[in-house]
């Protein structure tokens, strides 16, 4: 297995003179799933966007295999980001969307029965949960070294959450994952490294007890 490493080091970011992220350092490598938990508005999405390169900060550095990373739009095979909100144009058909990601739509529709026969349906015609599931599959399966998933579970029913975990497991020997979600049970089930983001800092956690001690879960 080729082992790639992703490190975000000493990341700081302020909005309107309010410090959102203060000296954050996290890491991830091929084969691992890094979870980031934290309350609403603590900066999880911002941190993922900084790692991806769509939000810029002068303070801190992102390294891939020890070398300063370029923003992902310059090297799209390195880091993929599932944003928190829908990103596929509603007028695109599933078939076209999968083509754009160099993936075969039938690999998806064969595995997720409720999509059979919908290959030429427009994304905008699907329910929110279904279009989200298609987006998540695309991001997990597309060629990349690292996949950042911002709230992949929240909009999905339990069966679909399990499917997403399965797809991550399938790709895990080739990629590293960083996942942030309010569904902490799903994150805890799949991650092997866990950070709590609080007061602009990351705290490494070993499980529920540490999350409770950090004030994220009730004692
Ligand atoms: N472009 C922006 N301009 C100003 N403030 C911003 C901007 N983006 C985010 N913020 C603020 O930064 C803070 C962190 O936002 P962020 O979306 O990263 O939090 P989050 O932990 O992902 O929240 P949630 O769990 O609700 O998705 C919030 O207070 C938010 O209002």
SS3 135: helix
The pTM for the full model equals: 0.95
Provide the β-strand partners of residue 81: 148
Yes or no: say if 114 and 130 are a contact pair by the CB < 8 Å rule. yes
pLDDT for residue 164: 97
Nearest residue (by CA) to ligand 1, atom 3, is 15
pLDDT for residue 2: 85
Nearest residue (by CA) to ligand 1, atom 17, is 45
Give the CA angle between residues 27, 33, 39 to the nearest 5°: 80
Nearest residue (by CA) to ligand 1, atom 29, is 41
Of 27, 66, 19, residue with least CA distance to 46:
19
What residues flank ligand 1, with Cβ below 6 Å?
Answer: 15, 20, 38, 40-46, 84
- All residues at 6 or more sequence positions from 170 whose CB lies less than 8 Å from its CB, including other chains: none
pLDDT for residue 5: 97
CA atoms within 13 A on the CB side of 170: 10
Cα-Cα-Cα-Cα dihedral of 165, 213, 198, 171, to 10°?
A: -20
Best residue among 12, 22, 37, 43 to mutate for probing ligand 1's pocket (most ligand atoms within 8 Å of CB) is 43
Provide the β-strand partners of residue 178: 34, 148
In the reported structure, the alpha carbon of residue 36 is separated from the centroid of ligand 1 by a whole-number distance in angstroms of 15
CA atoms within 13 A on the CB side of 24: 31
- All residues at 6 or more sequence positions from 181 whose CB lies less than 8 Å from its CB, including other chains: 37, 149, 151, 152, 153, 154, 187
pLDDT along the chain (219 residues), means of 10: 92 93 94 97 96 91 93 86 95 96 94 94 96 97 96 94 97 97 96 96 94 91
Six token digits for residue 145: 């070294």
Best residue among 46, 152, 179 to mutate for probing ligand 1's pocket (most ligand atoms within 8 Å of CB) is 46
pLDDT for residue 136: 98
Six token digits for residue 123: 């994304």
In the reported structure, the alpha carbon of residue 44 is separated from the centroid of ligand 1 by a whole-number distance in angstroms of 8
pLDDT for residue 76: 81
CA dist 156 and 60 (Å) reads 34
In the reported structure, the alpha carbon of residue 100 is separated from the centroid of ligand 1 by a whole-number distance in angstroms of 29
SS3 186: helix
């Amino acid at each position: 297995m080729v082992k790639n490493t992703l490190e975000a080091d000493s990341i700081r970011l302020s909005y309107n003179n309010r410090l959102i992220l203060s000296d954050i350092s996290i890491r991830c490598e091929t084969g691992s799933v890094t979870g980031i938990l934290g309350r609403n508005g603590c900066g999880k999405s911002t941190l993922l966007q900084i790692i991806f390169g769509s939000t810029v900060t002068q303070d801190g550095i992102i390294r891939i295999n020890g070398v300063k990373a370029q923003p992902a739009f310059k090297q799209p095979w390195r880091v993929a980001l599932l944003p928190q909100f829908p990103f596929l144009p509603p007028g695109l058909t599933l078939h076209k969307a999968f083509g754009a990601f160099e993936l075969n739509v039938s690999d998806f529709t064969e595995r997720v029965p409720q999509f059979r026969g919908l290959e030429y349906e427009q994304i905008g015609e699907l329910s929110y949960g279904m279009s989200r599931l298609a987006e998540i599959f695309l991001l997990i399966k597309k060629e990349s070294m690292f996949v950042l998933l911002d709230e992949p579970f929240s909009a999905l029913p339990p069966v679909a959450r399990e499917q997403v975990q399965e797809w991550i497991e399938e790709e895990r020997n080739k990629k590293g994952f960083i996942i942030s979600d309010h569904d902490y049970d799903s994150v805890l089930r799949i991650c092997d490294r866990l950070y709590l983001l609080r007061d602009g800092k990351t705290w490494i956690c070993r499980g529920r007890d540490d999350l409770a001690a950090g004030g994220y879960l009730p004692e």
